[in-house]
Amino acid sequence: MGARAHPTSAHWGHYQVVVDEGRVVDVRPNPDDPAPAPIMNNVPAAQHHKTRVARPTVRRRWLDHGPGPDPRRGDPEDEYVEVEWEKALDLLAQELDRVRTEHGNQAIYGGSYGWGSAGRVHHAQTLVHRFLNSIGGYTRSRTTYSHGAIETLFPRILGAPSVPRLLHRAPTWKQIQEHTELLVTFGGLRLSNTWNASGGRAAQTAGPAMREASDAGVQYVSLSPLRDDIPEHVKAGWVPVRPGTDAAVMLALMYVLFTEGLADTGFLDRCTEGSDVVRSYVLGDRDERGYGPGLARTPEWAERVSGVPADELRSLARQMAEKRTLVNVGWSVQRARYGEQPLWAGVALASCLGQIGLPGAGFACGYGSVGTYGGGSTPLGLPRMPQGENPVSEFIPVTGISDALLNPGGLYEYDGQERRYPDLRLVYWAGGNPFHHHQDLKRLTRAFGRADTIVVNETHWTASARHADIVLPATSSLERDDIATSQGDLSVRVMARAVEPHGQARDEYDTFAALAERLGAGERFTEGRTSGEWMRHIYEQWRATTARNGFEVVPFDTFRAEGGVEMPGRVDDEALLAEFRADPEGNALQTPSGRIELFSSTIDSFGLEDCPGHPVWLAGPAVADREGEYPLVLVANQPSGRLHGQQDMGAHSMSQKVRGRAPLRLGPADAAAYGVADGDVVRLSSAQGSCLAGVVVSDAVSEGVVQLSTGAWYDPSSTEADCVHGNPNALTADVGTSALSQGCTGQLLRVRLERFAGPEDRLPPVRAFDPPVGVTPVG
Ligand SMILES: Nc1nc2c(c(=O)[nH]1)N[C@H]1C(S)=C(S)[C@@H](COP(=O)(O)OP(=O)(O)OC[C@H]3O[C@@H](n4cnc5c(=O)[nH]c(N)nc54)[C@H](O)[C@@H]3O)O[C@H]1N2
Ligand SMILES: Nc1nc2c(c(=O)[nH]1)N[C@H]1C(S)=C(S)[C@@H](COP(=O)(O)OP(=O)(O)OC[C@H]3O[C@@H](n4cnc5c(=O)[nH]c(N)nc54)[C@H](O)[C@@H]3O)O[C@H]1N2
Ligand SMILES: [Mo]
């Protein structure tokens, strides 16, 4: 049999894998895709890599001594033992039963954050939640690393439905092309980010859409520390801004609007609450708390803070008032300490322009963050596996994992509540990699050391798997039948199995069914269906919903035979908040005032130091301090070479590495000042830790800034640095955006850089891609 191409789907799009003699040997873009994502080139090497988990595996010390805190968890020399499936399932079922009996179900943490892989049936998050619900529930997590501040702040200032609307139903690129004159984007429009969307997308449409809008005359202004945060094929003005200072820029833009009579007072009066407070603050008549006079937020003041020339700010504000303007705040901008402020200031700025609710204008947050944003919406919903009900009400903010494990019973604030961390004993992770995503990984290692038992289902031996006591091998999405689609997608597609499972890897559906059976919940978990039967079931349920709404789609067997169906009922002409603008009383927002809250008496009443009652300027810990101990600002953004930490050993990801390490970009002036050049290895240090990385000099990086994207597999195997591979979360601080949202702040931090001196043979090797001690790879 010769090589055959199989269509498949991933978060990075719809594409084909070429299979020869049971192995993935190549990938091909889908012929219909106008701009395929190069990330797919990681797939062949990752699919059969030696770091695939091939058998159920138990950590030797846990096997010998039983459950309990163990500071050795994550020790690179720790030994693992491969066991039979039946034994692993028995051990795990016993341990789950012990924990729920001795401590109650809330002692099981099943927040299990992460992207896993695409596919609606074999969705690891959904399945682990469904399983834990079937056995009595678990402590869950709230919000996301992506946009925790958006999810918490916006319900307060724009009303609860604003979050799904803002995240999924923004003005489309088509509308932008038709109506928008000026798109001002804080955090750029990073093309490589649009390659991914949770669940994928039939075709990569965002990049081409940006170009078409540019060709049609839409003017773009990108405020960002990196020039290439906006694609070259878009004609854009680049305004380098110091990271973490966007709120200052926005306040100064408002200063110009207020003082030059350009603010739309009609809109502010009709549609917003508290614009007088914001105005007094901006003009310097009042400080953050309203205790007395403050500082005028003039363009000159903002220039000192942000590095953006005052004249440019004045002229930008005037243009924004004159033109049909859309203000975009990228998710990155809120993924930092005080991340609520640039969001809220962005809403205030767009309110002053008075264009919210007009087609192609107003406020948005997410263009350039994921590929589906601006691509229309799918209001009829998608086929979906039900998670069941969680009988446990306990939750933690998703970023609270280390805090909870290190400080059970400890007090913390969140969204106006004073809460206590639960006493977590067992942590079950499926479809995520906390040693990719969380901040301050040394602290996370200490936290994992405090649990009785850590369980990880994985396709690969990630750093998280290497901190676990029980590791169960999961099939990859190429090894199972599934349905692919996402919010805003263009179609619903069949993902057919392309290769046999690796080693003894199993579909998680079957793993959880077997565990549920042992725990007396088999029927509750499966409802008598196999995963294949669920695939048909959720498709047919969805088909019934679309039919009720007047859209006929083909039955499951036809869908399967034809490989997919076009998405019914797509909407791509919505203006955000148009109804509200038309009739602010009749279509009041779900806020206390019914209007956009530029001042929130609710948030004000929380009395938070780090999030007062209206947008303010607060200088975060990552704001540049060139004279200090950590003089450079590190931007830990999303990697262009892969999705997060997934398939870091793949060809596209590896092609970017420098001497096997993550590429660290810095500008020519900084490179000269530090005496480093392309190909050098450097050590970066922060107050939290250190890592090695390889230098790439680029004039796309503004002065004082270095860029080290996330996703290099954490490698603590040497004493030369906390991570020898270049994972920026070895350096980040584990602190929330504010006591309001407790969002992720991993995007920005301050660092020191030194050339890694010493002979080549002192350079510690990267061991991240060696399987752990005791594990025999299946190749
Ligand atoms: N410093 C810093 N840190 C950040 C960010 C930042 O900007 N700066 N960004 C944050 C953001 S926005 C996010 S969303 C997070 C992302 O963090 P994660 O979503 O946790 O990262 P991934 O690497 O995508 O982890 C998914 C894991 O699922 C595994 N997997 C794939 N398919 C399956 C499957 O079928 N079953 C199972 N069980 N596992 C599977 C993959 O091997 C992979 O290890 O990172 C956050 N961390
Ligand atoms: N290729 C690829 N695409 C992805 C992902 C991936 O891992 N790889 N992850 C996906 C996920 S889960 C998410 S949540 C989205 C995230 O989407 P975003 O959060 O929008 O993406 P980032 O790459 O983290 O940040 C975008 C840019 O913001 C700029 N920036 C950082 N700090 C500041 C600041 O303070 N001010 C200004 N003005 N700009 C700043 C940086 O230069 C950075 O390149 O991306 C998604 N897309
Ligand atoms: Mo994310």
191 alpha carbon – ligand 1 mean position (Å)? 19
Strand ranges (DSSP E) for 30-136? 57-59, 80-82, 108-109
Q: Ligand 2: which of 638, 652, 656, 698 to mutate, judged by most atoms within 8 Å of the beta carbon?
A: 638
CB 357 within 8 A of CB 575: yes
Q: Ligand 1: which of 145, 333, 477 to mutate, judged by most atoms within 8 Å of the beta carbon?
A: 145
Nearest listed ligand to the Cα of residue 53: 1
Q: How many CB atoms lie within 10 A of CB 77?
A: 8
CA-to-CA distance for 459 and 742, rounded, in angstroms?
30
User: What is the average pLDDT across 672-687?
Assistant: 97
8 alpha carbon – ligand 3 mean position (Å)? 22
User: What is the average pLDDT across 595-621?
Assistant: 97
CB 321 within 8 A of CB 257: yes
Nearest CA to ligand 2 atom 29: 187
Nearest CA to ligand 1 atom 5: 746
Q: Looking at the predicted structure, is the pLDDT value of residue 210 above 70? A: yes
Task: Give 464's DSSP letter.
Answer: T
206 CB under 6 A from ligand 2? no
Give Cα 6 to chain centroid, integer Å.
Answer: 29
CB 198 within 8 A of CB 486: yes
**Percent above pLDDT 70 for the chain:** 100
Determine phi and psi for 529, rounding to 5 degrees. Answer: -110, 150
Sheet holding 491-495, edge to edge: 482-484, 491-495, 564-566
> So what's the pLDDT on residue 47?
98
- CB burial of 365-402 (b: ≥16 within 10 Å; e: otherwise) equals bbbbbbbbbbbbbbebebbebebbebebebbbbbbbbb
Q: Looking at the predicted structure, is the pLDDT value of residue 757 above 90? A: no
User: What is the average pLDDT across 570-579?
Assistant: 85
> So what's the pLDDT on residue 148?
97
635 CB under 6 A from ligand 2? yes
CB 122 within 8 A of CB 508: yes
User: Tens digits of per-residue pLDDT, 267-288?
Assistant: 999 999 999 999 999 999 999 8
CA-to-CA distance for 513 and 508, rounded, in angstroms?
8
Handedness of CA 738, 744, 748, 751 (dihedral sign): positive
Q: What is the DSSP string of 307-318?
A: ---HHHHHHHHH
> So what's the pLDDT on residue 707?
98
Nearest listed ligand to the Cα of residue 636: 1
Ligand 2 atom closest to Cα of residue 711:
7
Give Cα 578 to chain centroid, integer Å.
Answer: 28
pTM comes to 0.98
Nearest CA to ligand 1 atom 39: 431
Q: Looking at the predicted structure, is the pLDDT value of residue 1 above 70? A: no
Q: Is 113 considered catalytic here?
A: yes
59 conformational bin, left if phi > 0, alpha if psi -120 to 50, beta if neither: beta
Ligand 1 atom closest to Cα of residue 638:
7
Using CB distances shorter than 6 Å, the residues near ligand 1 are: 114-117, 122, 124, 145-146, 335, 430-433, 436-437, 457-460, 462, 474, 508, 636-637, 643-646, 710, 728-729, 732, 744, 746-747
554 alpha carbon – ligand 1 mean position (Å)? 34
Angle between helices 508-518 and 531-548 (to 10 degrees): 110
358 token code pair: 């007009």
639 token code pair: 């990697």
437 alpha carbon – ligand 1 mean position (Å)? 6
| Coil/strand/helix, residue 83 | coil
CA-to-CA distance for 202 and 489, rounded, in angstroms?
7
- The domains found in the chain, sorted by start residue, are 170-376+577-606 (3.40.228.10)
Q: How many CB atoms lie within 10 A of CB 690?
A: 19
**Among 15, 62, 80, 115, the one annotated catalytic:** 115
Ligand 1 atom closest to Cα of residue 711:
23
Q: How many CB atoms lie within 10 A of CB 102?
A: 10
CA-to-CA distance for 299 and 72, rounded, in angstroms?
53
Whole-number Cα distances in Å, 538 to 191, 533, 541, 748: 33, 9, 5, 41
CB 473 within 8 A of CB 491: no
> So what's the pLDDT on residue 576?
82
The neighbouring-strand residues paired with 696 are 665
Ligand 1 atom closest to Cα of residue 464:
44
User: What is the average pLDDT across 356-373?
Assistant: 95
Q: Is 617 considered catalytic here?
A: no
SS3 content of the chain, % helix, strand, coil (to 5): 35, 20, 50
196 CB under 6 A from ligand 2? yes
Determine phi and psi for 270, rounding to 5 degrees. Answer: -75, -40
Q: How many CB atoms lie within 10 A of CB 552?
A: 9
Q: What is the DSSP string of 554-605?
A: --HHHHHHHTEEEPTT-B----TTHHHHH-TTTT--SSTTSSEESS-HHHHH
CB 385 within 8 A of CB 130: yes
User: What is the average pLDDT across 338-351?
Assistant: 98
> So what's the pLDDT on residue 184?
98
Residue 562, CA atoms < 13 Å, CB-side half-sphere = 12
User: Tens digits of per-residue pLDDT, 422-435?
Assistant: 999 999 999 999 99
> So what's the pLDDT on residue 759?
76
* Helix H or strand E segment including 61: helix 60-65
360 alpha carbon – ligand 3 mean position (Å)? 25
Q: Looking at the predicted structure, is the pLDDT value of residue 357 above 90? A: yes
346 CB under 6 A from ligand 2? no
User: What is the average pLDDT across 434-461?
Assistant: 98
Radius of gyration of the chain (CA): 26
Average pLDDT over all residues of the chain: 97
Q: Looking at the predicted structure, is the pLDDT value of residue 93 above 70? A: yes
Q: How many CB atoms lie within 10 A of CB 278?
A: 27
134 alpha carbon – ligand 2 mean position (Å)? 36
Ligand 2 atom closest to Cα of residue 710:
7
Nearest CA to ligand 1 atom 4: 437
| Three-point CA angle 291, 293, 295, nearest 5° | 125
Strand ranges (DSSP E) for 678-779? 681-685, 690-697, 705-707, 748-755
438 alpha carbon – ligand 1 mean position (Å)? 10
**Among 15, 80, 109, 113, the one annotated catalytic:** 113
Q: Looking at the predicted structure, is the pLDDT value of residue 228 above 70? A: yes
Nearest CA to ligand 2 atom 34: 243
User: What is the average pLDDT across 12-40?
Assistant: 97
Q: Looking at the predicted structure, is the pLDDT value of residue 760 above 80? A: no
Q: Looking at the predicted structure, is the pLDDT value of residue 654 above 80? A: yes
| Coil/strand/helix, residue 460 | strand
Q: Looking at the predicted structure, is the pLDDT value of residue 512 above 80? A: yes
143 CB under 6 A from ligand 2? no
User: What is the average pLDDT across 605-621?
Assistant: 97
Tokens 């300490």 -> residue? 337
Grade residue 169 by pLDDT with cuts at 50, 70 and 90: confident
